[in-house]
Amino acid sequence: MQSNKRTGQLLETSLSDALAKASNAGMIRNQYSAEFMETESNYQEGKLVACMSFSPYTSVRLIQLKPIFKFTISTN
């Protein structure tokens, strides 16, 4: 898919969905956000940057999210 503002917003939607799912499952607190960073992205290079903020209830070390792509985050 070509990179543009809309695909950046789709990335934000996808990450937000993943965080909502994690929150509904009780994995993270309900104060979370996913934001597409347009100024830090580069459409020509196909680079999209998004910022996610969330906090877990317990001191979990790894959380796996499955949005458009799969990746693993360490909270330490």
Partner 1 sequence: MSDGLIRDWLFTVLDNEGKPTDTQGIATELDLGSLKIAHDTDKRAGAYGVVALPQTPDEMEVSVSTIGMTEELHNALLSGVSGEISLQFNGVEENPETGTSKAIKIVLRGSIGSIPFGSYTAQSNAEFEFTMMVNFIDRLWGTSRFIYDPRNYRWDVNGKNLLAAKKAALGV
Contact 16, 34 (CB under 8 A): yes
- Is 3 a binding residue for partner 1 by CB under 8 A? The answer is no
Strand 71-74 to 62-65 pairing: antiparallel
- Is 6 a binding residue for partner 1 by CB under 8 A? The answer is yes
Q: Per CB under 8 A, which region of 38-46, 47-55, 61-69 contacts partner 1?
A: 61-69
* E-assigned strand segments in 1-76: 33-36, 50-53, 62-65, 71-74
- Is 30 a binding residue for partner 1 by CB under 8 A? The answer is yes
Q: Is 11 helix (H, G, I), strand (E, B) or coil?
A: helix
The CB-of-49 to partner 1 minimum distance in angstroms stands at 17
- The token pair at 8 is 């950046």
Q: Per CB under 8 A, which region of 12-20, 37-45, 47-55, 56-64 contacts partner 1?
A: 12-20
Chain positions contacting partner 1, by CB under 8 A? 1, 5-6, 9-10, 13-18, 20-21, 23-24, 30, 66-68
